[in-house]
Each structure stands twice: as structure tokens, then as C-alpha cells.
């Protein structure tokens, strides 16, 4: 009777490479790794309030006052949060490199140098994959938000584009050293030095300049576009918050560029209509 | 010791350079002397009596022996350029919570103002001004010489102030190229109300300079066609 022959297991080739988990544990127990990780966590927590500080700074003047600005703020907040661990790690390596191996007075250089750095497949794969994922996340997020903002702000229409809805308010914006003026063609061409807007009504801006290049920046509404002499550029927004906000020139344009600012007054639609009537203009279109 | 001395000298040289630049910038800044509005008693208004003050300004087409124009600091370099200028100063001071009446004697020629907004009167009492005694709310946009336009930095927390009046032109044959100037300037008078104290800037919105689009020269240098208005 022949015994069933079970092939004997081949003995594992002798190796000095410990299992991956063991190697990782061993790596984490190294002094410099522990120190860098601790510094990363500490610096990360110190930087964390930065994300909220940036939001607070942006909201100081009452914004956001449109869905566009809400999208922009959300993007800045998320991108800041994502960048904090990376910044913290870079600073941790930098700080440890600066101070961890700092020689003391009287030290003499070692006779033999440290062993040469060899490639490490795990490290290479880790940083390549994590960087790619992170970059992909930023690109995808950015593209989605950009598409959203573009759709909301007439960003993809040509300079001859018409309002997307019949109800849209058209405002002709003129930049001139160093004052903005606003004309309302649907209201007998009423012209003002303050930008008056109704809440929750889409607005199309036709922007131009009569002298040099300016940049029409409605800060809390999240729109910003060049005002070029001899050309009309277009942007749009739907204000969703009542209040007083700011228009600034964002293109260095001469002596009083720093003063080329004015107010935006977002008011209820009925108040806006009354204001236009008081300014001597019934709605014509 | 030697290293310490080298460091000290480097710091001193750096500080000297910074101080030199600051002194040069201060000496050449070209701000004209302060022109304070003259008190003019009180005026009865529907809200009660209000302090009043008067300010008198001139706009000349170029400097002359009688009216040398701004010569402070760096402006001395531009004195021979034949630039128009406000006179006697562009650094103005007016009282807070008051009615300020400004009279401007305009001696220059002009032309079409690109943006008709500047041919209209904005921000004055009743939205009017007088031209040679006649009350108007706007002037012919093809015959504007200069504007007097006050605006501000809106985030500074000071009250909003926006005043703009067009200054009608003289026919070019009426304008003297040097002293004597025309005997019949356009006399523009307007009144605006000031609020709480603040600092504002003002400038001419009619392109009356040289270089690109006539927005260079006097349009870009304090003391000529622009300045500050301090409400105190």
C-alpha cells in the first residue's frame, strides 16, 4: 500500500528581510522618525486655526453675499485644511534636520559618514500614490467648483452675451481713474456712483474702462473681471444677502488706485424698484 | 571681534540707506500747503442751525509769473511743463458736520468728457451748482474743462462722501496761455454737507494731462489736479 505522498514543503529561502509590519514597527521605533511625527502633529495642530482664521478674515466685511463667494470660500477652506498636514510634515523634517543633528561646541566630525541612502520601494510608492491622490482630489474639486462658478457668473458667454433670464438686471460698469460708475440701461439709464442691487435677482455686468485697464472686483459677491478700454467684458452674479459690501479696483491703475473703491448696496427687490423710481426712472424693460 | 564689527557696520549702513530713502521721499513728496476753509457763521436748515464755511479755488491752464503753481518738493521739476493746476492748494481742510460752499474760478479750455456721468452734478445740496450765477444740474458734456470730484476709501469707517461737479470750459480763444489769464473765468459755486471727521481724496475726472489718453502728468501727481480733503 502506497502511502499518499505529500510533497514536503520547501523550506523558505533564508532571508534577513523581516515581515512588512515588523519592519514598519521597527521603523516607527527609530528616534528620528518618532520625533518627526511628533513635530508634524504639533505643527499641524498649531496651523489648524489658520483655516478658520482665513474664513474669518474673508467674512470680516459681511460676506459671502452670493453662492459664487460661498463656493470660493469653501474651496479656500478645504484646500487650506488639506495643505496643513503636508506643510506640517515639511516643517517637521526641516526643523528636525536643523536642530536634531546640530553639533555642539567642541564636537568633531565623525570619522565615517552615514551609510548611503538607498532607494526604498515602500517610501517611493507611498509618496507617489499619496501625492497623486491629493493632486487628483484638488484638480477634481477645482474643476467642479470652477464649472459651478462659471455657470453662475456668465463666465463662458461671449461679450455679446445676453442675460440668461428675462428677469436679469443689466448693469453697465465703467472704470475711470479712480472712480466706478454704474448705469442701469433697463431703468432709463440711471447712473450712480454706488452699486445698487436687488437681492435674489440675477445680475449681468457689462464692464469697460474709458482710460487704462482697471479690474472690477465685487469682493463679497466673489466676482472679478478686467475693465479694458475699448472692450466690454461680462460677468454676473445673484446676490443672496442684503447689506453693504465693497467694490475695489484690483489692477494697479495710477495715483489714486488705492482709493478706487465704492460700496455695493444689496436691498430687497421692492426697495430696489422704489429706489430706481425715486432716481427718476421707471423700469423700461 | 572683527566679525562683530563687520555685522555692526552692515546694520548701520543698511539703516542709513533706509533713513536716506525716507528723508528723500519726505522732502520730495510735493504736498501743497494746507488750505483751510473760512468759517462763515451758521445757516438755518430744516434740521436746525448748521455751521458753514467757504472755500475758494482757482483752476489755471498753466503756471505764470503771477501764479507759479505748485513748486513743493518734486513739483519744482514739473513747473515748466505747462500743466493745468488747482490753486492755491490741493490739500484742503473743511469743518465736520457743516455746510461747505466752494467757489471755483475756472480759466481753462476743455472738450468732450468720455463718461457723461461727470457732466452732471453729484452730491451737492439739492444736486445743483451755479455757473456764473445760473443754477444747473449738469453742463454740456462736450464743453467740460475739469471736474472737482471727492471720493474716498469706503472701508475706513468714515462717513461716505461723494461730491462731483463739472467745470465748464472757456472757449480756446478766451484762454490766455500765460499771465494775464482770461478776465472772464467760469465761476462755479456749490455747497455740500460734511459728516463726521474723515480723510478723502479728490481729483479731476476730465483727462487734462499728457501722455497716454491724457491721463499722465498733472493727473498722476498730487498738487496739480488732485489732492486730499480733510474733514476735521
Residue whose cell numbers read 479750455: B109
- Count Cα atoms within 13 angstroms, Cβ side, for B106: 29
Question: Does residue A155 or residue A122 have the better pLDDT?
Answer: A122
Output the 3-class SS for chain A. CCCCCCCCCCCCCCCCCCCHHHHHHHHHCCHHHHHHHHHHHHHHHHHCHHHHHHHHHHHCCCCCCEHHHHHHHHHHHHHHHHHHHHHHHHHHHHHHHHHCCCCCCCCCCCCCCCCCCCCCHHHHHHHHHHHHHHHHHHHHHHHHHHHHHHHHCCCCCCCCCCCCCCCCEEEEEEEECCEEEEEEHHHCCEEECCEEEECCCCEEEEEEECCCCEEEEEHHHCEEEEECECCCEEEEECECCCEEEEEEECCCCCCCHHHCEEEEEEECHHHHHHHHHHCCCCCCC
- Count Cα atoms within 13 angstroms, Cβ side, for A242: 7
Check residue A2 and give left, alpha or beta (phi > 0: left; psi -120 to 50: alpha).
beta
What are the backbone dihedrals phi and psi of residue B111, each rounded to the nearest 5 degrees, phi first? 175, -155
Interface test with B, best of A61, A171, A176, A264 (most B CBs within 10 A): A176
Residues of chain A contacting B160 with CB distance shorter than 8 Å: 194, 263
pLDDT tens-digit readout, B133-181: 999 999 999 999 999 999 876 566 788 899 999 999 987 677 765 556 7
What are the backbone dihedrals phi and psi of residue A135, each rounded to the nearest 5 degrees, phi first? -60, -40
* Contact call for B203 and A176, based on CB within 8 A: no
Strands (E), chain B: 34-36, 38-45, 48-60, 85-87, 91-94, 98-106, 129-131, 134-136, 144-151, 163-168, 186-193, 198-203, 226-231
- B211 in reach of chain A (CB within 8 A): no
The answer to whether the pTM exceeds 0.95 is: no
Of A179, A210, A254, the CB nearest to B151: A179
| CA–CA distance, A239 with A246 (Å, rounded to integer) | 13
What are the backbone dihedrals phi and psi of residue A77, each rounded to the nearest 5 degrees, phi first? -65, -50
| CA–CA distance, A241 with A66 (Å, rounded to integer) | 7
Under the banding of pLDDT at 50, 70 and 90, the label for residue B225 is very high
Of B152, B160, B205, the CB nearest to A259: B152
pLDDT tens-digit readout, A74-104: 999 999 999 999 999 999 999 998 888 777 7
* Contact call for B117 and A211, based on CB within 8 A: no
* Contact call for A263 and B115, based on CB within 8 A: no
What are the backbone dihedrals phi and psi of residue A152, each rounded to the nearest 5 degrees, phi first? -80, -20
pLDDT of residue A283: 46
| CA–CA distance, B9 with A271 (Å, rounded to integer) | 67
Nearest chain B Cα to A174, which residue?
B115
Q: How are strands ordered across the β-sheet holding A233-237?
A: A190-192, A179-184, A169-176, A203-209, A233-237
pLDDT tens-digit readout, A133-168: 999 999 999 999 988 888 877 765 555 566 777 788
| CA–CA distance, B130 with B137 (Å, rounded to integer) | 8
CB B89 within 8 A of CB B33: yes
* Contact call for A256 and B155, based on CB within 8 A: no
| CA–CA distance, B57 with A186 (Å, rounded to integer) | 39
% of chain A with per-residue pLDDT over 90: 55
The three cell numbers locating residue B142:
462736450
pLDDT of residue A159: 53
Mean pLDDT value of segment B117-121: 94
Amino acid at each position: 500500500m502506497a502511502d499518499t505522498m505529500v510533497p514536503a514543503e520547501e523550506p523558505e529561502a533564508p532571508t534577513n528581510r523581516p515581515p512588512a509590519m515588523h519592519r514598519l514597527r521597527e521603523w516607527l521605533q527609530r528616534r528620528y522618525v518618532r520625533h518627526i511625527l511628533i513635530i508634524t502633529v504639533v505643527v499641524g495642530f498649531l496651523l489648524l486655526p489658520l483655516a478658520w482664521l482665513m474664513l474669518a478674515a474673508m467674512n470680516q466685511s459681511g460676506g459671502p453675499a452670493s453662492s459664487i463667494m460661498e463656493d470660493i470660500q469653501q474651496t479656500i477652506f478645504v484646500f487650506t485644511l488639506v495643505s496643513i498636514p503636508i506643510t506640517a510634515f515639511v516643517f517637521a523634517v526641516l526643523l528636525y534636520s536643523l536642530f536634531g543633528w546640530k553639533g555642539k561646541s567642541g564636537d568633531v566630525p565623525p570619522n565615517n559618514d552615514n551609510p548611503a541612502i538607498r532607494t526604498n520601494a515602500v517610501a517611493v510608492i507611498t509618496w507617489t500614490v499619496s501625492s497623486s491622490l491629493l493632486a487628483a482630489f484638488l484638480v477634481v474639486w477645482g474643476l467642479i467648483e470652477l464649472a459651478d462658478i462659471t455657470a453662475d457668473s456668465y463666465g463662458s458667454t461671449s461679450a455679446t452675451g445676453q442675460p440668461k433670464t428675462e428677469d436679469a438686471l443689466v448693469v453697465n460698469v465703467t472704470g475711470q481713474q479712480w472712480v466706478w460708475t454704474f448705469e442701469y440701461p433697463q431703468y432709463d439709464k440711471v447712473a450712480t456712483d454706488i452699486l445698487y442691487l436687488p437681492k435674489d435677482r440675477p445680475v449681468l455686468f457689462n464692464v469697460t474702462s474709458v482710460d487704462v485697464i482697471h479690474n472690477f472686483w465685487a469682493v463679497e459677491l466673489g466676482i472679478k473681471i478686467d475693465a479694458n478700454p475699448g472692450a466690454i467684458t461680462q460677468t454676473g452674479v445673484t446676490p443672496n444677502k442684503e447689506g453693504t459690501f465693497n467694490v475695489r479696483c484690483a489692477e494697479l491703475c495710477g495715483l489714486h488706485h488705492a482709493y478706487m473703491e465704492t460700496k455695493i448696496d444689496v436691498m430687497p427687490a421692492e426697495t430696489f424698484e422704489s429706489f430706481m423710481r425715486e432716481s427718476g426712472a421707471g423700469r423700461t424693460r | 571681534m572683527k566679525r562683530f564689527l563687520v555685522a555692526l557696520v552692515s546694520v548701520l549702513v543698511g539703516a542709513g540707506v533706509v533713513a536716506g530713502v525716507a528723508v528723500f521721499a519726505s522732502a520730495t513728496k510735493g504736498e501743497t500747503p494746507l488750505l483751510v476753509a473760512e468759517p462763515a457763521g451758521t445757516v438755518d436748515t430744516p434740521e436746525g442751525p448748521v455751521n458753514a464755511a467757504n472755500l475758494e479755488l482757482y483752476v489755471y491752464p498753466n503756471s505764470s509769473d503771477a501764479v507759479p503753481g505748485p513748486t513743493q518738493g518734486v513739483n519744482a521739476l514739473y513747473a515748466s511743463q505747462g500743466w493745468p493746476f488747482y490753486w492755491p492748494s490741493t490739500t484742503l481742510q473743511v469743518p465736520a458736520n457743516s455746510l461747505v460752499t466752494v467757489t471755483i474760478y475756472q480759466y481753462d479750455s476743455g472738450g468732450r468728457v468720455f463718461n457723461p456721468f461727470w457732466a452732471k452734478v453729484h452730491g451737492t445740496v439739492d444736486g445743483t451748482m451755479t455757473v456764473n450765477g445760473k443754477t444747473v444740474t449738469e453742463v454740456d458734456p462736450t464743453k467740460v474743462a475739469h471736474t472737482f470730484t471727492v471720493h474716498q476709501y469706503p472701508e475706513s469707517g468714515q462717513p461716505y462722501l461723494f461730491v462731483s461737479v463739472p467745470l465748464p470750459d472757456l472757449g480756446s480763444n478766451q484762454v490766455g496761455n500765460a499771465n494775464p489769464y482770461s478776465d472772464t473765468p467760469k465761476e462755479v459755486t456749490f455747497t455740500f454737507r460734511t459728516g463726521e471727521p474723515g480723510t478723502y481724496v479728490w481729483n479731476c475726472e476730465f483727462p487734462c494731462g499728457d501722455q497716454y489718453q491724457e491721463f499722465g502728468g498733472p493727473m498722476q501727481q498730487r498738487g496739480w489736479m488732485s489732492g486730499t480733503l480733510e474733514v476735521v
